[in-house]
Each structure stands twice: as C-alpha cells, then as structure tokens.
Structure 1
Amino acid sequence: MYQDLSLDRFMQGLIKRNPGEPEFHQAVHEVAESVIPFILDNVRYREAGILERMTEPDRSVIFRVVWEDDEGNIRVNRGFRVQFNNAIGPYKGGLRFHPTVNLSILKFLGFEQTFKNSLTTLPIGSGKGGSDFNPKGKSDREIMRFCQSFMTELYHHIGPNTDVPAGDIGVGAREISYLFGQYKRLTGEFTGALTGKGIEFGGSLIRTEATGWGAAFFMQAMLAHRGDSVEGKTCVLSGSGNVALYCAQKLMQLGAKVVTLSDSSGFIHDANGLDEDKLHWLIDLKTRRRGRIREYAEHVGCQYHEGTRPWGVPCDLAFPCAVQNELDQQDARTLAVNGCQAVAEGANMPTTVEAIKVLHDAGVLFGPGKAANAGGVAVSGMEMSQNSIRMAWGAEELEHRLRDIMNGIHDQCVHYGENGELVNYVRGANVAGFRKVADAMLAYGAI
C-alpha cells in the first residue's frame, strides 16, 4: 500500500480529507516534502503509515462559549482544542484568542507543535486551541467572563498529565490568570494544568522572554556553525509583541543592532538602532498601554512606514516575528539582493513556501519556526517540571537551560540537514522532529 508513497499522492489524499483548510495543507506540505524521502528509506515508517497517522489529530473538540458583555448583552463565540499527538508526552500548546481562529489554523499550529515539541527533547506532546473571540477593545471584566465561560468547557479535556495549554496571540498573563482561576474553582485542585501562569502562583521566570530569546540563540548557533557571530550585525524584525521585543533585547545583548519593529499598521525604522531605554519604553507601550508602533516613531523621531513590511530595509539578519505568511517570495528576493545572510522565524510559519525556496537558492541560512521559536514551549515544559516537583529555578539557571535546548535543537537540525558545506535547517528540523515521535508511535504498536 505504501510502496508508491509520493508527495503529490499524499497531499491529494490529505486535502480530500481536510477540505478548505489551506493553512493546514501548507504546514503539512512543508513537512511532507522533507520527511517522505526519509520514510521511503525506512520501510518500518512506511509500512506502519506513520505520516498518515501523524497528520490526523487524535481529536478535535469544538464547543460553544456564551458570555455577557458590560451592557448585559449575551454574546456567543466558538471554542476549540485540537489534541494532535501525545506519543511522547501530554498534549502541549497554546490558546489563541483572535477573530481569525478556525480549525485550519489550529490544526496547522498543532501539527507544527508536534515537531517543535519533539525537537526540545522534553517529554511533551502537541496540541493547540483557542477561540474566535477578539480581546481587543474588551474590558478586563468582559475578558474575565469570557475566560471563565471558555474554561467551564475546556477543563473537561485538560490536566497536568493529559493536556497542558499555554498562551498565544491574544492570551497573555491576564487571560491565563483568569483561565487558571476558573480551572482551580471547577476542579478544586492546584495543579500545573496551564503554563504561562504568574510567578506568584506557579509560573516560571523568563517565560515571557523565552520565545524571543530562543530565536536569538538559534540564530547565534546557526552563525557559529559557520564561524560567524551575531555581534555587529544589523537586524530587521517584524512584530512588536513579546517575541519581537525580547528577541530584540537578546540580540542587543549579543552585540547586534536592531533597526525595525512592526505591527499591523506599519513599521518603524530606527537607523540608530534600539537601546535599552528605547526598548523599555516600547515594552511599556505594547504590554501595558497597548499602543501602536507609530507612537515610538513620534517618541524618538525615527521613520514610520505605514501599511508596509520591513523587509526592504537592508540588513544582515532578519527575524519574522509577527504572523503566518508575512514574508513572501518578493520579500525573500529583496532580502537576498540586499545581502541578508540569515533568517530565523520567531513566529509560526511566517515565511511562504515560495519564499523559503528563494532563500535556500540564494544561500541564505534559514531557521524554520519549529526550531527557531521553540524557546517558548521549552520554558513552558520547564514550568511543568517545576510545578511537578514543587520548586522554582532561578532566571540564570533557566536561561542556561534554554540556551542548551536551543543549541541542542540546532545540532539535531545539522545532523539531519547537513549537505556538504550547507545545512538545510528545514529538512533537518522536520526529520529530527519526525523521527522521535515516529519511533514512539511504532513502539506502541501499529493500531
């Protein structure tokens, strides 16, 4: 049955089973392109239909979320939890609150999470969830009521040894606090059923910084592998959430110069580069005051470009840290022509398939999100460990562990992706992540 496994045949079957889910199709295609040749060389994976099994979630839960706004109106949203694969540990992945949330996006994110979590070498499986609820413009009490209603259904499906959600877009410390408070009320237990919690009640230090720091560490490892470093490099970043802000912070600490950040309305170009004072002002703007990036340009007197992306700014290193498919084929050509040496994805699937090919053909190092942005889930996994043993590690210890994990992910990518002098980090990440999960699935038996 599996002797004629090919990318086209496999994708035709997947699209037929999952119609109208383009984000999921794109994520699977990117992985399948790398792992099918590996599967064809390893008959045990082919005969057990591992890839077919791995692309089908264990279960997808969809539920109604009813809540009351401040005017007393009854509002209805849709909630989701996609539990993708628990072959190597309990389901683990974020919750996203955003009006674009649908099953396709959550399946793409959950599928990516399978490989990302595997690469960390921590015992955590993969899942993703959320709602089409939009927290923007809502009061704290409206968000609290929504989160409590959402958790009233979700708690049936999660737990410290079953499924451990975290935050994602639209779900920060405030939302996690409301969600965890409701979970505790409903279960009568104080367990590590959520990560991203406040430090006061079981959270981990450096969790906020982890994804951004991890992307910087991964870039540092890619450059070090070819005898170079981040120091002195000009860096272009998209986004202005926690990932972008803390990636910028760590890059600056490593001696790089960060010149751009963005949001959905445009980007700022600070040719002088960010410094610690500017960054602290930005962190306050984006996390406490929830302002727009153009306010930074007004504050420091730098350029602001409305309605465009930062990829035309000449740079040595680029970090797409905003949303999926934000860096397209033309953007990739521009980066390559302008001399960009390496790209590391801070967001999930921010680079299109066509853009990745352009970067590879141009010899630009490319760190895919499942490897480069695994820092967040790595520290979430460490939060689970700290909750289990009822202790908390210090920030210095956690940063050391995070750096070791990111270096370990890099080494796995090199092992499976090296081809002469070049490293195909996409292939390396996909094959390394696939192999660990596939071996666990084989060990459990074929059915």
Structure 2
Amino acid sequence: MSYVDEVIAKVKEKNASEPEFLQTVEEVLTSIRPLVDANEEKYRKLALLERIVEPERQIKFRVPWVDDNGQVQVNIGYRVQFNSAIGPYKGGLRFHPSVYIGIIKFLGFEQIFKNSLTGLPIGGGKGGSDFDPNGKSDMEIMRFCQSFITELFRHIGPDTDVPAGDIGVGGREIGFMMGQYKRIRDCYDGTLTGKGTENGGLAGRAEATGYGVVFYAREMLKHFGEELAGKKVVLSGFGNVTWGTALKLTELGAKVITISGPDGYILDEDGISGDKIDYLLELRGSGKNICSPYAEKYPNAKFFPGEKPWGVKADLYIPCATQNEIRIEDAKKMVENGTKFLCEAANMPTTNEAIEYLKENNVVIGPSKAANAGGVACSCIEMSQNAGHTVFTADDVYAQLENIMVNIFNQSIAACKKYNLGDDLIAGANIAGFERVANAMLLQGIEGIV
C-alpha cells in the first residue's frame, strides 16, 4: 500500500464519525500523490502526512448565555488550530446549528492550503459554535458573542491565532467579540479580522471573497481562450460571497441569473444587477434566511421552492453557499446542459463523486481553496493594516487582491505542468499549497524531540 493510501486508511479509522473531514483529507491527499510519491522516503520517515492531518491543538468549550426572557442557554464552542508552519493560525468562526468538530476540522484542514496559496504568512485554523444567530435579537447575539470570546480570548492573539467571520458571523458579531476581547486584554491589537471600517476593519473586505472568486474565474476562462463578458452565470446562496461575486461578474460583463437559499432558488432571466444586487444585502440582513421575497419584489423573477439551481442552463456555475451542495445528480444536470466551467466559491461545495463525474466529462473545476482565498488574503491585509497603524483604501485592497488571485491561478497551472496533471486545477492547487507548508514543516524539525 502506498504512503498516501496508508494515511487515508488511518484517518478513516480514527475519525469515522467525521465524514466532512474524511472527505477533504481523501480529496487532498489523493490529488497530491505525485508530489508524495516523489518524496516518499523523506515524508514517510518524518511522518509528514500523519502530522499534517492531525491538528496541532483542538479546543472545545461551553458557551452559556442569557436570552431575552432571562433563560440561560448553553452552546458549544470550538477552535481547531490546525497548522502554524507558515504563520499564526488564521481562519473564520462559523455560527450555525450544523457545527460540530468534524465540520470545524474539515474547514481548518482546507484553510491550511488555502492560506498557503495566498503566499502570505498565515497558517490554518477554524472555529465556531452550534449557536444559530437567525431569529435572535441583537442583544442575544451580543451576549452570546461576549460569552464565546470570554473563553476563546486566552487561545488567540495577533501572533498566535487570528479568527475572522464565516457563515453566521459578520461585522456585527466580530464587533461584539472584538469589544469583549479588548476589554479583557486591555489593548487593541486587531486580533479579530472582518471588523467594520469604523472599528479598524479593512475597506473592501465585505466583497473580497466574491471579487477574488471572479478574478480567479476570469483567469481560468482566459487560460482556455474564453472571457467572462457575455457569459450566463448561475450562483447559489445570497450572502456576502454571492453579493460580491454578483457585483464583480456584472462589472465584467457577465449575466447572473440565479441566487438561492434554504427555501429554494430564484431564476431571474433579466439578470441580477444594479439594485437587485443591493437587495441581497437587505435579504441577508432580515435574519429570515430565505430568498423567496426577491420574487415578490421583482415580479419577472421566478421562485422554485425546495430546489437547487444546478439544473438551470448556464456557461459557468459558482456555488457560494455551503459544503456538498453539488452532488452527483446535480453534476449530471450540468453536463447535460453543456457547461464547461465550475468555480467553487463556497468551501468544498462539490462532493468527491460529483467532482470525478465532472472531470470525466471535461468540465473545468476551479477549486474552492484556490478560488475563494481572496477573503482570507484580505483578512491578512487587515492584520497588516492593524499592525502598522495605517489605513488602506479600497483601491489599494482591490489591487493587492487581484494580484494575489492571479498568482494563485498561476501557481496551480505551474504545478499542473510540473507534475504532468493536464488541466486538473484541483490537483495543481492542492500540490502548490501543500508543498509550501510541507517544506516549512521539514525546515522546523519534529515537535517534541529534544
């Protein structure tokens, strides 16, 4: 059995109750096989793969808080500090009922290689809670966030671990946590990123992930002799990532025709642009987590309850919602529709089975850990802004972001060429991200040996 297969088998045995984590480990390790095979003796002797699939630290804690009726509620908080070989742990906090340790480990593992691809000095981590902010008052959310950070503060810091936002955690939640962190620490060190601009945050951060996805998609299409202008694009979700993606796609001449939510999807053949894109912020801000009101506000649009948008014919599909939203049956619809391109804006939005089917049918996939790295890249820029006690303009941020995303695509293509991977951008990105982390780990020696 090869070294890769041995480690995958060990991970499956040890983490059998964490399917999302198993999925990402298998996807990454399988795709970096050419690099591992070329260095097997060295990697095996130093147990490199075993070390990289095991978090450096896992933190689990209770989060008691008081609701508006005076009743004490208790949630669970997590922070997985996965790998600090190239910099302090960096990754978002997710507040959602689905959160458990397997979700956090999957996201943290992906974050290692995503952060590596940016070329910036940030390691991989992730955290969150099973707390659901939907339907909660601002005061309830504030009390929860204060309780959450009252425990987490002891494990984070500007040179140790710098959390940001994710699903359920935006500028409001980050602001509440930053306020409590600052009071406890008695200093302002910018440890949390994704703050509002009035609170030390970065101009352009809200749209950064979406803009970065489009910059990556533009380079991907360009590589295959095509351009975004004139393309019909299907998006899922209706949050910040979808909003930023729609903004930049429209600016570059593409036509966005769908959004989606847990309640179904919207088809707007007239195109989602202008004030329609602005309305996405209103939808998200309502706290109801549904997209159906869009069809009430714009009568030409159609709402399809309980369905996903992957059966809609388009030139480019960009999933922006959550993990595993594209399954094998969705992949078959895309192939039937004759699409050539899928660019992942959400984290691991496509199942491994669906990925294989799409690749077998010559659909080019821009992988999430490359395509959606713009958000964490800008979080690192926010860290620099806070550390330097300066302020970057939105134009400064956009210019840095575009350069980073172009470099990520170029790294992936270079790895494809080096290891004869054809146009497998997933393998190219995984190898490029892994190699930088692996080399840093080798240079730093083995933990615990004195």
Q: Which residue of 1 aligns with 2:312?
A: 313
Which residue matches 1:149?
Answer: 147
Equivalents in 1 of 2:420, 2:93: separation in Å?
40
- Show the counterpart of 1:426: 426
Residue of structure 2 aligned with 1:11, choices 8, 13, 35: 8
Counterpart in the other structure of 2:226: 228
Residue 175 of structure 2 corresponds to which residue in structure 1?
A: 177
1:234·1:317 contact (CA, 8 Å) conserved in 2? yes
State the number of aligned residues.
444
Q: What amino acid does structure 2 have at the position aligned with 1:10?
A: V
Q: Deviations over 1:310-343 (max 9, x none)?
A: 0000000000111111001121111112121111
1:150-177, CA deviations, whole angstroms, 9 ceiling, x for partnerless residues? 1110000000000000001111111000
**Aligned equivalents of 2:66, 2:287: Cα separation in 1:** 25
Q: Is the 8 A contact 1:417 1:426 kept in 2?
A: no
Instruction: Specify the SS of the correspondent of 2:326.
Output: coil
- Structure 2: how far apart are the matches of 1:280 and 1:200? 21
Separation (CA, whole Å) in 2 of partners of 1:289 and 1:255: 31
**Aligned ranges 1:352-367 → 2 under 5 Å:** 352-367=351-366
After TM superposition, the structure 1 = structure 2 runs for residues 199-238 of structure 1, keeping only pairs within 5 Å, are 199-238=197-236
- Which deviates more, 415-424 or 119-128? 415-424
Q: TM-score, normalised by structure 1?
A: 0.97
Alignment of 1:198-347 (within 5 A): 198-287=196-285, 290=288, 292-301=290-299, 302-347=301-346
- Partner secondary structure for residue 111 of structure 1: helix
In structure 2, give the amino acid aligned to 1:320: P
- Counterparts of 1:431-446 in structure 2 under 5 Å? 431-446=431-446
Which segment drifts farther, 119-128 or 42-51?
Answer: 42-51
- Find the partner of 1:34 among 28, 31, 34: 31
Instruction: Measure how far apart 1:446 and its partner are.
Output: 3.0
State percent identity of aligned pairs.
Answer: 52
User: Structure 2: how far apart are the matches of 1:47 and 1:155?
Assistant: 37
Distance in 1 of aligned mates of 2:389 and 2:303: 47
Aligned partners of 2:246 and 2:273 also within 8 Å? no
CA distance in 1, matches of 2:273, 2:439: 46
Paired position in structure 1 for 2:408: 409
Indicate which of 77, 81, 87 corresponds to 1:83: 81
Note the aligned Cα RMSD (angstroms).
1.3
Displacement of 1:9: 2.5
Structure-1 separation of matches of 2:298 and 2:9:
52
| Distance in 2 of aligned mates of 1:163 and 1:420 | 37
In 2, are the aligned partners of 1:206 and 1:395 still within 8 Å (CA)?
A: yes
Once residues 357 and 172 of structure 1 are traced to their aligned partners in structure 2, the CA distance between those partners, rounded to angstroms, is 34
The whole-number CA distance in structure 2 between the counterparts of 1:420 and 1:342 is: 21
Q: Mark the runs of 5 or more structure 1 residues left unpaired by the alignment.
A: none
Q: TM-score, normalised by structure 2?
A: 0.96
Aligned pair in 2 of structure 1 residues 367, 137: CA closer, same or farther (>3 Å)? same
* Paired residue type of 2:13: K
- Residue-by-residue CA offset, 1:100-158 (whole Å, 9 max, x unaligned): 11000000000000000000000000100011111111111111111111111000000
Asked whether the equivalents of residues 266 and 304 of structure 1 are also in contact (C-alpha less than 8 Å), the reply is: yes
Match of 2:350 in 1: 351
Q: 1:104 to 1:420 in 2, by over 3 A?
A: closer
Deviation at 1:386, TM superposition (A): 0.7
Cα deviation per residue 1:396-439 (whole Å; 9 max; x = unaligned)? 11101101100000001101124879410110011000000000
Equivalent of residue 52 in structure 1, options 29, 50, 53:
50
CA distance in 2, matches of 1:242, 1:104: 24
Between stretches 111-120 and 5-14, larger displacement belongs to 5-14
CA deviation after TM superposition for structure 1 residue 192, in Å: 1.5
Q: Quick one: which amino acid aligns to residue 428 of structure 1?
A: G
Structure 2 contact 262–289 (Cα < 8 Å) conserved: no
CA distance in 2, matches of 1:32, 1:171: 30
2:130 to 132, 138, 149: 132
Residues 269-288 of structure 1 show CA distances to partners (whole Å, capped at 9, x for unaligned) of 00111121211122222235
> Structure 2: where are the runs of 5+ without partners?
none
TM-aligned CA deviation for residue 12 of structure 1: 1.6
Q: Provide Cα deviations, 1:3-42, integer angstroms capped at 9, x if missing partner.
A: x534443222112222301110001000010123311111
